[in-house]
Amino acid sequence: MSVYGTEKFGTERPPSTAARFGRAKRGLGRPVEKAQNSRQTLQRLWRRLRLCKTKLWIVFALTALSTAMNVLPPVVIGLALDRYVSVFAARVDFHGLTRALVLLACLYLVGSAASWGQNRIMVFVAQNFVRSLRESLFAKLQTLSLNYYDTHQKGDLMSRFTNDIDTISSCLAQVVVQFFGALLSVSGTLCMMLWLSPPLALSVLLAVPFSFAGAAVLARHARPCFTEQQKRLGDLNAMIEESVSGIRAVKIFRREEEMISRFVEVSEHLRRASTKAQIYSGLLIPLLHFCANLNYIVVVTAGGWLALRGLATAGLIQTFLLYSRTFARPLNEMATQLNTIQTAIAGAERVFWTLDEVPEITESPGAVALRRVRGDVEFRGVVFGYRQGHPILKGIDFAVKAGESLAIVGHTGAGKTTVVNLLARFYDVREGRISIDGHDIRDLTLESLRRSLGIVLQDTFLFADTVMANIAWGRPEATEAEVIRAATAAGAHDFIRLLPDGYRTLLTEEASNLSRGQRQLLAISRVLLTDPPLLVLDEATSNIDTRTEAQLQTSILKLMKGRTSFVIAHRPGTIRNADKILVMKDGEIVERGNHAELLARGGEYHDLYAGQFLSGGFACGSQ
């Protein structure tokens, strides 16, 4: 594979939402309210969890056992109190009481063991689940077209890998099991109470409608608040990512105060969203505690009234007092866990948004592989704009025969780099057709199309890996000798030898331990190694000093020989040697011919050449 996937392309694209943090809405291309479908999200999560259904059934069984061991003790305590302790006669059956205590210890021991087992298994289930989800999300990002990245904040996308998936992980590992256990506890306690004394059970249930009604109202208001909180957190991450990536520009242009001001604004939005969400969630616990305490009073009153009429014993009343607490505690836990569940659902929705994205660039059902590429390239009536209604290219027509070199020149913004974006099919044309060897590129497999292209851009991206691995990125099966041969041809071998570990030197993040010129030489080496039939040089030597460029020109010309080559806004040497030159202006071709013809014509090319070539550069920068 060539280096098409490892470079940054031009700037003629929709303005990134990351550039408008302080004022822009979060960018997923959707209004906030459309993302709030908790039922559908839960169904999708469950479909994924079903892959671990055997372990889940074991977890549920252990949870049921643990819950049963917690529901039975109040009955044992009540019976022991009635049978083995006589308050009025001041007698205690120590033998019977000891048996009851041993039984209680066994119940608690079994319950604790079951609880430990289900927690341990659920941790494995949760981690495997989020690993699968994280891998699916990463794989999806590899398939999405560049237009998706043009309109989404990088920090927000990172937030989905970290905050959102971590929240789902925590929810699955702890909250789901606790919530299910609390539900079983409530159900089991209710059954036991109805079996022991329906009148007292009714008194315990008096507070339940108020608890559920209050929880339902608060949950309904809290859900959009938690969704907004997650979105604002994504904004904050995006702001931090942008400020760190652009710290040099911030310092050069003395914009520290403005960046701080923007961060404060974004942070304030997050504070407001988080405060609102936490206020709603914080009301649940006091509400349920009030209902539980009120219920305690009702049970004591009802139990005393029944005892006076011989319908309840001291042990039974004690059992129901314990059950009133046992019954209320799971409700409180469920209310508390609802907050985490709401946050996890909001995070899962955001992850599913990305998983549901349909790549703009896809292969047609009958796509064919491009084999034995000759190199004939043709643009016919090509119209394109990164945004609908804002065309960048306006009816571009040209043809390049196999082995010819084509130079595209023009001012910044003329549409030069857009031509390369379309040739590599990072975007699809709005109108017209692009063909290679007579095949419409939309009818070719993406792998074969991009394998045939070797692209060197002005902004080189290198990975945090060894020099050897970076050069071999487009052809990982290459031998060490082949890598060295390519680096030597590109003029990079000499400086690589002087690195601490030579070709085994580990590059830092963004290759900051190399100069820009050295990074460019590695990028050229990478293309030389892939030996592509189609070559694109987009400001390929703009970061290389004049002496190094002079040494490299021979290698570049040798590389171009026999290949169809596109040279964009390059320096005079390669421009002059091009078989054809296109002069672009405002997305249109205004002149075409070779160097001598265009100079003799005295038009746009003559003015550009006289004004910029002879001054040492030509429309430098991405366009």
Q: Which residue, among 106, 78, 282, has the nearest Cα to 196 in the 3D structure?
A: 78
The pLDDT score that the predictor gives to residue 60 is 86
The tens digit of pLDDT for each residue in 103-122 reads: 888 988 998 898 888 888 88
The tens digit of pLDDT for each residue in 578-609 reads: 889 999 988 899 999 988 888 888 888 888 87
d(CA 80, CA 97): 6
d(CA 266, CA 159): 15
What does the block give as tokens for 474? 């487009």
- Let me know how long the chain is: 623
* Residue whose tokens read 């672009």: 584
| Start-end of CATH 1.20.1560.10 domains in the chain | 39-355
- Inform me whether the pLDDT recorded for 611 exceeds 60: yes
- Inform me whether the pLDDT recorded for 2 exceeds 90: no
The pLDDT score that the predictor gives to residue 396 is 92
Is 363-447+568-623 CATH 3.40.50.300?
A: yes
Model confidence band, residue 79 (pLDDT cutoffs 50, 70, 90): confident
- Inform me whether the pLDDT recorded for 554 exceeds 70: no
| Start-end of CATH 3.40.50.300 domains in the chain | 363-447+568-623
The pLDDT score that the predictor gives to residue 388 is 80
What's the mean per-residue pLDDT of the chain? Answer: 78
Mean of pLDDT values over 341-358: 85
The tens digit of pLDDT for each residue in 375-387 reads: 899 999 999 988 8
- Inform me whether the pLDDT recorded for 167 exceeds 70: yes
d(CA 214, CA 389): 51
pLDDT > 70 fraction of the chain, expressed in percent and rounded: 82
Is 39-355 CATH 1.20.1560.10?
A: yes
Q: Which residue has the higher pLDDT, 358 or 321?
A: 358
Q: Which of 18-22, 252-256, 551-555 has the lowest mean pLDDT?
A: 18-22
CA-CA distances (angstroms) from residue 399 to 87, 94, 402, 454, 579? 105, 103, 10, 19, 12
* Residue whose tokens read 């929705």: 349
Model confidence band, residue 398 (pLDDT cutoffs 50, 70, 90): very high
Model confidence band, residue 207 (pLDDT cutoffs 50, 70, 90): low
The pLDDT score that the predictor gives to residue 573 is 56
The pLDDT score that the predictor gives to residue 251 is 67
- Inform me whether the pLDDT recorded for 478 exceeds 50: yes
The three-point CA angle 284-290-293 to 5° equals: 135
Q: Which residue has the higher pLDDT, 483 or 252?
A: 483
What pTM did the predictor assign?
A: 0.67
d(CA 276, CA 492): 57
First to last CA, the chain: 25
Mean of pLDDT values over 531-551: 74
Mean of pLDDT values over 524-534: 88
The pLDDT score that the predictor gives to residue 217 is 74
